[in-house]
C-alpha cells in the first residue's frame, strides 16, 4: 500500500546551481557530470539506426517513453531486449508496427515532441537515453528520417527524463534533460539553440539507487520529482529567477522512477503493491490514490497540449505480460487499463 507523509524536511541543495539559458548566454558543448570532456562521436554508446529488423519485445521492467503531438498523435517508445529503441504510433485504428530507431541503451528512453520554432523549423520528435557507456545520447527526426545518435556526455546512473517548453519572455524554445549522477544527485542539461547545449548543472537531492528523476518544463519553471533514499517521493520547483523551492516530501512509497504531468497537476508512482498510484499536487483530494493495475515497470504519464490548452492525460506501464498498457482520458476521468495494440 502507498502511505502518505507529513514530512517537510528538505534535501540539501546541490553545490552548484543551474541557470536556464538566454539565447546569448550559452556555455556551449562543454562539461559532463564528472567533468569529463564531451564525446561527439559514435565510437561507444548507441549505434546508428537499424532497418528491416524484426521487432524485439520490451526489455522486462523498463519504463516506456511517450511523446504527444497536439491532442491527436501519441507515440510510444521502448527499449527492446536487443537494447535498441523502438517507436510505436499509438492508434486504435492502425497496425501500430514498431519501427527501430537503433541505439544501444541501458534502461528506458525519454521522448519529447518539439513544435516548430527556433530549435527545429518543423515539428520534431526527439529521443534521449543512457548509452552503454553511461553517457547521455540523443536522436531526432530529420527531413529524411532520423539523425544518427550523438552523445551529450555525462556519467548517468539512471535513465534520463526530457522535457520541452516555450516561454516568449524569458527562455524561448528550450529543452531540458535530467538524470541521476554518480553522486546520487539530480543533474540537468539545457538545450536552446539548434544543436547547442549548455553545461551540466547539479540540482541536488539524494536519489534512491536504481531510480531517476521526472522533470517537466512549464513556462519558465522546471518541476522535478524524485524518489529519495527512504523510498518516498520528493519534489522541487525552480523558476527563471533561479530561486528554488527546496525539496519537499510528497510521501508515498515506491522503488521505481516516478512520473509527473503538470498539465493535470499529478504525480504518479508504481506502488509497493505493483499498482499505479497518484497524488494531486494541489492536495485536493489529499493523499495517494490507486489507479489499479499489476505493473512490472515504472509509470510514464503525459498530458497532451493543443494551442496552449491541455488535453487528454495518458498513463503507461508494462503489465505482468510484459506488454504495454495504458489508461487515458480527461483528468481525473481516466478510462480503465487497456492493452496498447502493437502489430
Residues with Cβ within 8 Å of residue 300, at least 6 apart in sequence = 63, 64, 65, 66, 108, 259, 315, 316, 317
The single-letter DSSP state of residue 320 is T
Closest Cα partner for 202 from 215, 217, 216, 185? 185
Contact assessment for residue 61 and residue 320, using Cβ atoms and an 8 Å cutoff: no
- Bridging pattern class, strands 136-142 and 145-146: antiparallel
- Cα angle: 292, vertex 298, 303; to 5 degrees: 75
DSSP H helices, 7-97, are none
For the chain, domains (ranges, CATH) are 65-255 (2.120.10.70)
Torsion sign over Cα 133, 134, 135, 141 = positive
Strands (E), 228-308: 233-238, 248-251, 259-261, 266-270, 276-280, 289-292, 300-306
Closest CA to 46 of 145, 129, 141, 160: 129
Structure-derived torsion over alpha carbons of residues 234, 240, 244, 249, reported in degrees to the nearest 10: -20
Yes or no: say if 305 and 264 are a contact pair by the CB < 8 Å rule: no
Rounded CA separation 181/157 (Å): 5
User: How many residues comprise the chain?
Assistant: 343
Dist. CA 72–CA 66, nearest whole Å: 13
The answer for residues whose C-beta is within 8 angstroms of residue 171's C-beta and 6 or more apart is: 20, 21, 22, 165, 192, 220, 240
> Do 299 and 263 meet the contact criterion of CB atoms below 8 Å apart?
no
8 A C-beta contact, residue 27 and residue 37: no
E-strand spans in 36-104? Answer: 65-69, 73-79, 85-89, 99-102
Q: C-alpha grid cell for residue 124?
A: 520534431
- Burial annotation 202-214 (CB, 10 A radius, 16+ → b, else e): bbbbbbbeebbbb
What's the pLDDT score for residue 25?
A: 27
Residue for grid cell 541501458: 106
The grid cell for 32 is 559532463
pLDDT of amino acid 193: 64
Indicate the pTM of the whole model: 0.85
Calpha distance 254→233 (Å, rounded):
8
Grid cell, residue 134, equals 553511461
Provide the residue-wise pLDDT of the chain in tens; the chain has 343 residues: 332 222 233 333 333 333 333 332 222 222 222 322 222 223 334 554 555 568 999 999 999 999 998 777 899 999 999 999 999 999 877 678 999 999 999 999 999 999 888 888 899 999 999 999 999 999 999 999 999 999 999 999 999 999 998 765 555 788 999 999 999 999 999 887 666 899 999 999 999 999 999 999 887 789 999 999 999 999 999 875 555 678 999 999 999 999 999 888 999 999 999 999 999 998 888 999 999 999 999 999 999 876 667 889 999 999 999 999 999 999 999 999 999 988 7
Place of cell 519534489: 235
From CA 183, how far away is CA 139, in angstroms rounded? 26
Amino acid at each position: 500500500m502507498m502511505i502518505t507523509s507529513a514530512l517537510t524536511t528538505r534535501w540539501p541543495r546541490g553545490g552548484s546551481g543551474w541557470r536556464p539559458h538566454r539565447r546569448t548566454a550559452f556555455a556551449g558543448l562543454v562539461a559532463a557530470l564528472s567533468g569529463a570532456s564531451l564525446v561527439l562521436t559514435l565510437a561507444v554508446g548507441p549505434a546508428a539506426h537499424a532497418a528491416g529488423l524484426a521487432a524485439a519485445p520490451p526489455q522486462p521492467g523498463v519504463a516506456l517513453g511517450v511523446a504527444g503531438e497536439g491532442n491527436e498523435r501519441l507515440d510510444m517508445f521502448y527499449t527492446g531486449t536487443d537494447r535498441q529503441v523502438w517507436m510505436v504510433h499509438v492508434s486504435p485504428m492502425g497496425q501500430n508496427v514498431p519501427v527501430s530507431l537503433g541505439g544501444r541503451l541501458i534502461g528506458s528512453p525519454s521522448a519529447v515532441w518539439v513544435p516548430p520554432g527556433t530549435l527545429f523549423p518543423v515539428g520534431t520528435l526527439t529521443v534521449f537515453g543512457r548509452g552503454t557507456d553511461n553517457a547521455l545520447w540523443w536522436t531526432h527526426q530529420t527531413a529524411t528520417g532520423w539523425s544518427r545518435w550523438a552523445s551529450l556526455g555525462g556519467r548517468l546512473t539512471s535513465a534520463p527524463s526530457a522535457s520541452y517548453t516555450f516561454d516568449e519572455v524569458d527562455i524561448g524554445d528550450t529543452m531540458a534533460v535530467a538524470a541521476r549522477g554518480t553522486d546520487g544527485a539530480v543533474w540537468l542539461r539545457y538545450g536552446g539553440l539548434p544543436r547547442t547545449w549548455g553545461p551540466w548543472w547539479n540540482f541536488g537531492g539524494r536519489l534512491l539507487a536504481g531510480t531517476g528523476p521526472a522533470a517537466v518544463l512549464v513556462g519558465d519553471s522546471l518541476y522535478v520529482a524524485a524518489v529519495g533514499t527512504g523510498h518516498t517521493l520528493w519534489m522541487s520547483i525552480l523558476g527563471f529567477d533561479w530561486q528554488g523551492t527546496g525539496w519537499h516530501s510528497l510521501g508515498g512509497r515506491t522503488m521505481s522512477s516516478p512520473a509527473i504531468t503538470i498539465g493535470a497537476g499529478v504525480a504518479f508512482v508504481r506502488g509497493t503493491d505493483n499498482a499505479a498510484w497518484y497524488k494531486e499536487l494541489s492536495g485536493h483530494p489529499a493523499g495517494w490514490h490507486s489507479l489499479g493495475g499489476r505493473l512490472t515497470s515504472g509509470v510514464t504519464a503525459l498530458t497532451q497540449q493543443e494551442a496552449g490548452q491541455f488535453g487528454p492525460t495518458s498513463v503507461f506501464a508494462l503489465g505482468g505480460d510484459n506488454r504495454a498498457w495504458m489508461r487515458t482520458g480527461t483528468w481525473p476521468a481516466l478510462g480503465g487499463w487497456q492493452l496498447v495494440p502493437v502489430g
